[in-house]
Structure formats: structure tokens, C-alpha cells
Amino acid sequence: MTLLSIRDLKLTFRLWSGPVEVLHGISLAIGKGERVALVGESGSGKSVTARIILGLLQEQRNARISGTVEFEGRDLARLSARERMSMRGRAMSMIFQDPTSSLNPVYRIGPQFREVLDRGSPGISAAEARARAAQMLAEVSIREPDRVLDSYPFQLSGGMNQRVMIAMALANRPALLLADEPGTALDVTVQAQTLDLMRGLVADHGTAVLFISHNLGVVREFADRTYVIYRGRIVESGPTAAVFGDPRHAYTRALMAAQPRLTGGGLPDIPERDPAFDAPAIHHAAGGAA
Amino acid sequence: MILQIENISKTFETGSHRVQALDDITLAVEAGECLAIVGESGSGKSTLANIVLGLYPPGRGRLVFDGAELPDQRSLALRRAIQLVQQNPLSALNPRRSVGASLRLALDVHDIGPRAGRGARVRDLLAAVGLDPALEARAPAALSGGQRQRVAIARALACESRLIVLDEPTSALDVLVQAQVLRLLHRLRQEHGLTYLFITHDLAVVRNIATRVAVFQRGRMVELADTEALFSAPAHPYTRALISAVPVITEEEKAMRDRLGGKP
Amino acid sequence: MRRALHILAANPLTLTGAVLVLLVVLAALLADVVAPYPEHAGAVVDFLNFNKPPSAEHLFGTDLVGRDLFSRVLFAYRISLLLGVVVLVISVPVGVTLGLMAGYLGGRREYVLMRITDVFLSIPPLVLAMSIMGVLPPTLLNGMLAVTAMWWPWYTRLVYNIVRGEKVEGYVLAAEIIGASKWHIMFREILPNCVPAVVTKITLDFGFVILIVSSLSFLGLGVQPPTPDLGSMVAEGARYLPDSWWLAVFPGLAILVAVFGFNLVGDGLRDILGAEQ
Ligand SMILES: Nc1ncnc2c1ncn2[C@@H]1O[C@H](COP(=O)(O)OP(=O)(O)OP(=O)(O)O)[C@@H](O)[C@H]1O
Ligand SMILES: Nc1ncnc2c1ncn2[C@@H]1O[C@H](COP(=O)(O)OP(=O)(O)OP(=O)(O)O)[C@@H](O)[C@H]1O
Ligand SMILES: [Mg+2]
Ligand SMILES: [Mg+2]
């Protein structure tokens, strides 16, 4: 069953310097309980896509959006700002790419966490919220949940803030989790634990995950299907095993080649831009993998 | 040896909670090396970087830079000697100032070179990191992620410091851009005899760019080894645990990871 | 410039506001030229024409001593805008500087500055101005002082909140590591990032200052006769409602137009400059 379906999504920012088209017609779909990865160039439009799904960019007046985004069969464009708002943090939630600027720097973690929990269970008591929050933090391998709840974001390490964001995003068991670079600031063992946690959510609650990442290794281990994006266009998509086992688009191949190897061998000199990267998109058949 | 870190400890207090962020770290940074610091999230890597940069004093221990002890309150000249490249290049550049103005600041603060020649120097710096000098007039928002990180590197070069702390400098970039930025960093280190303190979580990056590796866990340094040695025979169980959790994309890597990490 | 026009064209409300503001400003600047009876700005008496309804000679009618209301409204705009400029020219730099200091320097300075600001903010503006005016003689200068005294804390609070968010940004850290001075970091690095919000607020405030000054005059505490002031005109005229309706209605509309215009422009600027809040 399709949970989220995006068709021909275009996005233009109207800036002082003139309009800039950032997304040139993105189509993608995520089924219930599916783990879908979006990988690609820095600045290619991964985060804005997630923000559109969450309904955040619709509220920004200099953003012009066309195409359709359907969530649970409903066209997001038809929803009022209020309906979108009530969906956020409950039916769908997002792990933002930059935890330090997504958490409010002037409040401690505790009250911020309580606000999140309050969206899922309105009227939750302070004590109950704190206990739930502490438990969620422990699940993302935070060793001293109480200290973290009493801290301001600047008193925590980058990876701790990121884990706080992850715990918040998972707290209300959303139907769709938008995970924007959820592991950049985590060491690999903690990262593996957070991935397990997400897998658990998917298995137990049928949560679907849109997983945005630069880390090809993580994508390969986590995602059922993968979309590769370059300059606002999907260039390759298909079951993860197919995309990684048989990358056919020049950009995907370049990415794979540029991934540093644990076995060493230095860093290849591949240009960041190449006309071959603009070749038409390649879609692998669903095959037996998905 | 360019920097001697001697018995550094640091404790933070948050309300009624105490954290020992660093616990008796001793480490000699050799001139010209790329010393990677990897380890657990929250193990004190950034804290150590901040202490080296003089953002706050260590609780205990001392730093010796170029043979002289670094005071808690640093002179302008000492600040200039150690620079930082941050993780998020967008946040690291002032959105309301041009790229040129951000680079120029370093020259002006330290009065580097004749005033009249600073415009040209800014363009030279951009060229040195592989950017078109014409980009000096742009706002950071009008640059790609990789270009922004190159500007941040150029800013560190502007101070002509010999020791640069890099705190996860490429984790916000895609692997293609990352490869280019890492190649640039490598080239600059060779050309200018720079020393790097390179903090990262990406062991594959470490493998390909570092000369030595320090592994941190809970405020302690649990292993320090040459890169080759670490990736052929990791000594500490935590190092092995780290290696065994690295997500990889090829079968050779998988075999190596499982062999070193002690997985069946 | 052309782009600014494009944006205006795409935002009819902002355009409306801009036109209203332009009219008000022109009226204030050109009052001597445009006003049909410039001498009526002062203490003139024309008993032959007193309390006349609007007509071709007197667009807005005349007041109780026979002065042309239209002329007086134009001159009142001049006073109001002048007051607005004076109040904001003093309170914005003061408020912004204190906000930058409290937000960036932190520590005791932050605590003391923000407590003072909170005290000022907790007093309703009109009450504060009235109590100041109660102690001081009700002259125009004191009116300005009173309004200024209650205006700066809003800018301190606004800038303080922005600075607390900006302070954790990497560019501030980068400047600190390079060794830039605190002065440089506050005024050259952080301040430019406060400008959109501050400019937006200034525009909105022009409307509010006019409103507050009018309210004070309405209470007899602001601009004193014979200087024309919209607030006192409404106050006086209100006593003769509904028969001599023009006495209160036209000055009232004049206030509305100015406040409305500045608000629309402020809202538009907020979008265009991308200021938050
Ligand atoms: N609010 C905005 N106003 C103007 N341009 C924007 C805005 N947000 C994003 N952009 C631009 O849209 C493009 C896509 O940005 P986005 O953040 O989605 O990239 P991304 O794929 O997430 O990159 P990264 O991997 O670096 O996070 C970029 O060129 C960016 O500069
Ligand atoms: N200013 C501060 N006040 C209080 N505690 C702090 C402060 N800075 C750091 N800490 C604490 O010190 C510990 C080490 O933090 P640090 O940022 O050095 O970790 P890190 O190794 O860089 O982690 P990451 O890989 O997640 O970035 C953490 O427990 C953190 O909460
Ligand atoms: Mg992004
Ligand atoms: Mg860190």
C-alpha cells in the first residue's frame, strides 16, 4: 500500500537575484513499512523534498511548489495549514539534518522533549513526560538521560544532540519518518543502534522511513529501495541491491567510486560535475528484491 | 613535534550533574602529520579541540605549542597559530557577508600583508583551494556545499597557521565532493607543511587520509597507532568494536571489517 | 530597484501600503505647498467660517474656530512623522545596542540588562508614558522623551532573542577563533543578521508611534495646541459627534491611513527581507 506518493514535484525559490528552480520534477513513492533511501549530491534538493513532505516549505512565501504530494491518499496541497500542522510530529515526523540549529538553543532539552510528547499524548504530565523522554534517550544509547534532559543543546556533543532529535522524532511513533542525515555526527556503533531502533519501529508499527544520507554503506545496509538524486532530478532508482550491485547511471557510478574504502587505496579524482551526469534516469525493475 | 598535549582533563557541571569530558589525555602531535581522532560520540573529541583552540582552558594539564606553554588567555598571535574548520560550512560562513569579506577578516584582524595587497591575497587564497577568484563577491548561500567548505579551508589558510583542527569537515558533503575536499586537504598539507588534527566518525576516510589515529572512549584515549597498524591489527576491544560496525559497500571491505572486528 | 518593483507588483497589499505611506510622507513634507490654508496650522481664528461641513473650499470641513481641517491634518502628519523619526532615531540604536550586548556578552550584563528591559516591557506603554508625562510638563519635547523611554526595550528584546540564536552559529565561532574583537563580532557579524527583523519592526513601529502619540494627545498629554495633532483633533471632535462628525472622523481616518499603510509595508518587508517571527 502506498503511504506517500510524490509526482512531478517542482520547486522554485523566488530570490532577490531572480527565481531559482531547485527541484525539476521529482517522483517517488513510499509504501507502508518501507525503508526508502534518498542519496545524492549536496544541494541537490534532498532536504527541501523532505520539508515539502512535512508541509514546511508550503508556508514559506518565496517558495513556489507544483506537482502532487499525497500522504495516506490525501493531497497535501488541499489540506489547510492547520491540518498540516496537526499531522506534523504525529502522523509524520522528521529528524532534521542540523540538530544544533533545529533544537531551540535557549531551552533545555527536557521542556523541548515534553512539547514533542505533548503533541502525541496531549496533556501528558511533566513527570510522565520526563520518564518517557528519559527512556527514549536511553534507547538511543544516551548514557545519562537525566543530565541530557537538564542540559541546553550547547552543553551536549554534536552526536548527543543528534540522538535527542532522533528520540524526539521516534517518540510519537509516526506513520512516516523523514530521517535527514540521521547519523552524520554519530560514531558507527551508536549509529548501528539507532538504525536498529528504526528497524524496530518499522517492524512493530509499520512505520515507513524516508532515509536521506550521504553514507552509501549505511544506505546499502538499511534501505529496501534507493533513489539517487542529482541537481534536482532523480537519476537512478530501484531496489537497493540492484542499484548498488549494478549501478548504471554515470552519477551513481561516480558516487560509488568516490566512496572511500576501508581497505584503503586513496581517494579517486572524479570531477564533481560531468555532462554524463545529466543523462536520462534509469529505473531498475522491482524484481524479486522489493 | 608541534603540539604536546599533557595530562589534560576537563570536567563540566550542568546543574547538579558532572561530566568528565576528558580524563588525563596525553598526546604528542608531530609537525606535518594528519592525526585522526575517532571515537565514541560524547567522548570528548570536540572538547579537546576546543581546548587546543583556546576556547576554554583545560581543567587540569597543559599544552605546549612550538616549545612554549600555551597560556589560558592567548595573545592574538597565538590564536592565529591554530585554526579550525567546522562541520557545517553553511553555518560557518556569515550569510550576510560576502565570501571575500569573510576571508578578508582574517587578514585584517592579524594585519597580514600590506593593506593594499589584501584584495589580491583573498583571490589568491580562493585560487589555492581550487575556487574561481570571482566567487569572492558571492554570498555563501550562492555556493554549493563543497565550495563553502573550500572557503572555510581558505579562511584557515589565510591565517597562515601551521596547525589546523578539522572537526568532521566532510560529514555534511556527498562522497564525490568529499573526495575532492579531502584531496585538497591532503595537497595543502603537503604543499604548506600543515599539521591536521582531524576529528571524524568515518573510519574509511581515516584510512585514506590520516597518518596516525587516536581512538577515544568516555574521555580517555584508548588507542594510538599509525593508520596502517591500526587497520591491520587493532589492539583495543573498543577499536575493534568500532571497526566491526563500519557500514561498507564492497565485499573486500566486508571481509576486512569482519576479520579485524572479530566477527565470524 | 526594478526587482523591488516586481515584488511590489506581485503583492497588492504591500503595494497598497506603499502608496498610502508615500501619500502620508508627501503630505508631511509638502504640507506648506499642498495645504490650501497653510496659516491655519497655527492659532488662527476665522469666525465667519467656523464649524463648516466638508465643501469644495474646505475638503474636510472647518473646526470650531474656523480653521481648515484638511490643512491641519497635513501639518499634523508632519508633526507625527517627525515624532516618529525622533523617537525611533533614539530608541532603535539604544535598544539594538543593549540587545546585542545582553545577547552576546552574556553573564551579569545579560542578567541586569534583561531584567531592566523586562520591567519596562511589563508596564503597559501608555501607562508608562502617562506617568512620565504626569511628572514632567506636557510639552512636545517631553512627549517625545516619554515615548522614547518606553520604546527602546522592544528593540532590546527583539535583538536579544535573535542574538541568542545567532550566537551558536558557526560564523560567530569562526570570528572568535580568528581573534576578531567583541565589537566586531557584535556589530559587523551579528548585527547584519538582525537587520531584516529590525527594519521590519521600524516600519511597523512608525504606525504605532503615531498611534501612541495620538493617544497621548487624545488624553491631553501630548502635543499641545495650537500645534495640530491628530489625536487631540479626534479628542476634541469626539465631543461634537454626531452633528459635527467631520471634526473627529477625518483626523481619525488620517490616523488609520498612516497606521494601516505602515503596517502593510512592514508585513511586506518581513516577507521580502525574510525576517522571522
Ligand atoms: N529557503 C531557501 N531559500 C533559497 N534557497 C534554498 C532554500 N532552501 C534550500 N535552498 C536551495 O535549494 C537547494 C537544495 O537544498 P537542500 O537543502 O534540499 O539540499 P540537500 O540535497 O539536502 O543538500 P545537503 O546534502 O548538502 O544537505 C540548494 O541549492 C539550496 O541552496
Ligand atoms: N559547554 C559544556 N557544558 C557542559 N557539558 C559539556 C559542554 N561541552 C561538552 N560537554 C559534555 O562533554 C562531553 C564531551 O562532549 P564533546 O562535544 O567533546 O564530545 P565529542 O566527542 O565531540 O562527541 P560527538 O562525536 O558527538 O561530537 C559530553 O558529555 C558533553 O555533554
Ligand atoms: Mg540536506
Ligand atoms: Mg563533536
Q: pLDDT tens digit string along B83-107?
A: 999 988 888 999 999 999 999 999 9
Distance from CA of B174 to the nearest CA of C (A): 20
Interval C204-232 mean pLDDT: 76
Residue type, C176: E
Q: What pLDDT, on the 0 to 100 scale, is given for residue C276?
A: 45
C119: exposed, middle or buried (C-beta count within 10 Å: 0-12, 13-18, 19+)?
exposed
Q: Which chains touch C (3 or more CB pairs under 8 A)?
A: A, B
Partners of B106 on chain C (C-beta within 8 Å) are 178
Residue ranges and CATH numbers for the domains of chain A are 2-95+174-283 (3.40.50.300)
Comparing A51-55, C106-110, C236-240, the range with the smallest average pLDDT is: C236-240
Sequence-ordered list of residues with C-beta below 8 angstroms from that of B186, at least 6 positions apart, any chain: A267, B34, B209
Confidence of residue C246 (pLDDT cuts 50, 70, 90): confident
Interval B169-187 mean pLDDT: 92
Grid cell, residue C219, equals 488624553
Grid cell, residue A139, equals 534507547
Q: Which ligand number lies closest to the CA of residue A108?
A: 2
Interval A19-26 mean pLDDT: 91
| Alpha carbons B246 and A25: distance in angstroms, whole number | 35
Q: How far is the CA of B262 from the centre of ligand 4 (A)?
A: 27
| Alpha carbons B88 and B148: distance in angstroms, whole number | 9
CA A116 to chain centre: 18
Q: What pLDDT, on the 0 to 100 scale, is given for residue C229?
A: 79
Residue B146 clears pLDDT 90, i.e. is over it: no
Partners of C165 on chain A (C-beta within 8 Å) are 105-106
Burial track A14-39 (b if 16+ CB lie within 10 A, e otherwise):
beeeeeeebbeebebbbbebbbbbbb
Residues 138-197 of A with CB under 8 A from B: 143-144, 146-147, 150-151, 155-160, 162-163, 181, 184-192
Partners of C273 on chain A (C-beta within 8 Å) are none
Measured between CB atoms, does A73 come within 8 Å of chain B? no
Confidence of residue C277 (pLDDT cuts 50, 70, 90): very low
| Alpha carbons A153 and B225: distance in angstroms, whole number | 33
Residue C222 clears pLDDT 80, i.e. is over it: no
| Alpha carbons A21 and C250: distance in angstroms, whole number | 49
Confidence of residue A82 (pLDDT cuts 50, 70, 90): confident
What is the Cβ-side half-sphere exposure of residue C265, based on CA atoms within 13 angstroms? 22
C190: exposed, middle or buried (C-beta count within 10 Å: 0-12, 13-18, 19+)?
buried
Grid cell 595530562 in the structure block, residue: B7
Q: Which residue of A has its CA nearest to C11?
A: A61
Confidence of residue A289 (pLDDT cuts 50, 70, 90): very low
Q: Which of B171, B179, B250 sits opposite A185 (nearest CB)?
A: B171
Instruction: Give the 3-state secondary structure of chain A.
Output: CEEEEEEEEEEEEEECCEEEEEEEEEEEEEECCCEEEEEECCCCCHHHHHHHHCCCHHHCCCEEEEEEEEECCEEHHHCCHHHHHHHECCCEEEECCCHHHHCCCCCCHHHHHHHHHHHHCCCCCHHHHHHHHHHHHHHCCCCCHHHHHCCCHHHCCHHHHHHHHHHHHHHCCCCEEEEECCCCCCCHHHHHHHHHHHHHHHHHHCCEEEEECCCHHHHHHHCCEEEEEECCEEEEEEEHHHHHHCCCCHHHHHHHHHCCCCCCCCCCCCCCCCHHHHCCCEECCCCCCC
Q: How far is the CA of B39 from the centre of ligand 3 (A)?
A: 25
Partners of C168 on chain A (C-beta within 8 Å) are 100-101, 105, 153-154
At B171, is the secondary structure helix, strand, or coil?
coil
Q: Contact B168/A267, CB-based, under 8 Å?
A: no
Q: What pLDDT, on the 0 to 100 scale, is given for residue C3?
A: 62
Residue C140 clears pLDDT 80, i.e. is over it: no
Q: Which ligand number lies closest to the CA of residue A40?
A: 1
Q: Contact A101/C169, CB-based, under 8 Å?
A: yes
Q: What pLDDT, on the 0 to 100 scale, is given for residue B81?
A: 92
Confidence of residue C147 (pLDDT cuts 50, 70, 90): confident
| Alpha carbons B147 and B177: distance in angstroms, whole number | 9
Pocket of ligand 2, beta carbon within 6 A: A 155-160, 185; B 12, 14, 19, 21, 41-47
Q: Which residue of B has its CA nearest to C168?
A: B91
Distances (CA, A) of A93 to A55, A111, C245: 11, 18, 58
User: C221, C142 in Cβ contact below 8 A?
Assistant: no
Q: Which of A101, A184, A267 sits opposite B208 (nearest CB)?
A: A267
A124: exposed, middle or buried (C-beta count within 10 Å: 0-12, 13-18, 19+)?
middle
From the list C83, C63, C86, the residue with the least C-alpha distance to C226 is: C63
Q: Which of C3, C167, C271 sits opposite A61 (nearest CB)?
A: C271
B15: exposed, middle or buried (C-beta count within 10 Å: 0-12, 13-18, 19+)?
exposed
| Alpha carbons C107 and C100: distance in angstroms, whole number | 13
Grid cell 521529482 in the structure block, residue: A26
Grid cell, residue C230, equals 491628530
| Alpha carbons B205 and A24: distance in angstroms, whole number | 33
Q: What pLDDT, on the 0 to 100 scale, is given for residue A193?
A: 92
Q: Judge if the beta carbon of residue A22 lies within 6 A of ligand 1.
A: yes
Residue ranges and CATH numbers for the domains of chain C are 2-40+60-276 (1.10.3720.10)
Partners of A154 on chain C (C-beta within 8 Å) are 168
Partners of A153 on chain C (C-beta within 8 Å) are 168
Grid cell 534501505 in the structure block, residue: A223
Q: From start to end of C46-133, where are the E strands?
A: none
Question: Which of A62, A64, A156 is most worth mutating to test chain C (most C CB atoms within 10 A of its CB)?
Answer: A62
Residue B69 clears pLDDT 60, i.e. is over it: yes
Confidence of residue B202 (pLDDT cuts 50, 70, 90): very high
C219: exposed, middle or buried (C-beta count within 10 Å: 0-12, 13-18, 19+)?
middle
Measured between CB atoms, does B149 come within 8 Å of chain C? no
| Alpha carbons B92 and B143: distance in angstroms, whole number | 13
Closest atom of ligand 2 to CA, residue A160: 26
| Alpha carbons B168 and B172: distance in angstroms, whole number | 8
From the list B200, B218, B219, B222, the residue with the least C-alpha distance to B210 is: B200
Interval B174-195 mean pLDDT: 93
Kindly state the percentage of chain B with pLDDT values over 70: 99
Distance from CA of C152 to the nearest CA of A (A): 23
B246 Ramachandran zone, left/alpha/beta (phi>0; psi -120 to 50):
beta
**C-alpha angle B54/B58/B63, rounded to 5°?**
70
| Alpha carbons B236 and B222: distance in angstroms, whole number | 7
Q: Contact C193/B96, CB-based, under 8 Å?
A: yes
Residue type, A102: S
Measured between CB atoms, does A61 come within 8 Å of chain C? yes
Q: pLDDT tens digit string along C16-72?
A: 888 888 888 888 787 777 777 777 777 777 777 777 777 777 778 777 777 887 888
Q: What pLDDT, on the 0 to 100 scale, is given for residue A188?
A: 93
Mean pLDDT score of chain A = 90
Confidence of residue A290 (pLDDT cuts 50, 70, 90): very low
Residue B178 clears pLDDT 70, i.e. is over it: yes
Q: What pLDDT, on the 0 to 100 scale, is given for residue C7?
A: 66
Sequence-ordered list of residues with C-beta below 8 angstroms from that of A222, at least 6 positions apart, any chain: A35, A37, A195, A198, A199, A211
Partners of B97 on chain C (C-beta within 8 Å) are 189, 192
Sequence-ordered list of residues with C-beta below 8 angstroms from that of A30, at least 6 positions apart, any chain: A2, A3, A4, A5, A36, A176, A208, A210
Distance from CA of C189 to the nearest CA of B (A): 7
At C152, is the secondary structure helix, strand, or coil?
helix
Q: What is the CB neighbour count within 10 angstroms for residue A283?
A: 12
Distance from CA of A62 to the nearest CA of C (A): 8
Q: From start to end of chain B, where are the E strands?
A: 3-14, 17-29, 34-39, 60-65, 68-69, 82-85, 163-167, 195-199, 212-217, 220-226
Q: pLDDT tens digit string along A23-55?
A: 999 999 999 999 999 999 988 999 999 999 998
Grid cell 545596542 in the structure block, residue: C97
Residue B9 clears pLDDT 60, i.e. is over it: yes
Measured between CB atoms, does B141 come within 8 Å of chain C? no
Q: How far is the CA of B43 from the centre of ligand 4 (A)?
A: 8
Q: Contact B76/C179, CB-based, under 8 Å?
A: yes
